[in-house]
Chain A
Amino acid sequence: MEPGGAQQPLSQLRRGVLEYCVLSLLAREELYGFDLVRRLAEVDGMVITEGTIYPLLSRLRREGRVTTTWVESEAGPPRRYYALAPAGRRALTTFVEEWRRFRDAVDHLLPGETP
């Protein structure tokens, strides 16, 4: 799917950043798995294969960064809603600061839009 070259570092980067994008979406509202996955997939370049989000969600739950609750659904089986846990909020806050610094550093060094 990703033929090496310049795609490889980006996929590594995406993998590292994806969980904070998940936490960030959950900081706004609780979401069930399908909704969460589709919102990530709507952002171009963020998710290649939707199914690979589920192992990530599973780990975030085991690490106590998100919590889940089952909610009855009017159509179909009950749904598992994901919510941000306090540990997840702390991790997100730390990451946002580090990311801004990192992003500015890279923008500063790369040729292009920055003066």
Chain B
Amino acid sequence: MSNLEQFIGANRPPATIVNGYSAGGTSNVIISAAGENHGKKILSGALTATVYKELVSVTGAGFIDLASAYALDATARTIGLKVVMDGVTAFDAVSASLSGAYQGIIAIGSRAAATGGFTNFQRFYFNTSLSLQVKSSLNETDLVELNVFYGTM
């Protein structure tokens, strides 16, 4: 670590994000049908089974407060979510098999309750780049959604 990094280290992106989903095999209701949080919702477009697809990329410095991915119908599937900051994969996990709409996985932030609860933001900074990628166990189009809150600096 250089002398300068000692002082700016607080803004270094995480190399690893550990939460209740990061080991894979877990899932939860991420938003309700009303979608009561302030994240931006981005549909996946066409997904090829088990292949990650980048839905958001940033070149430059910024921050991210929330990143989750969830299904929009009750078809059985798993969903994967990957977060790459400054070229380092901080989160890469696949959910348990989902069985309902709005079930999914959270990489950044947390959610207090299944319905009517509120979303907690969890800020991380990146210095050069951000990439948010999702995948499904199925070939499908626009039935997986990314929920994200980020900004540039």
- A and B: bona fide binding partners: no
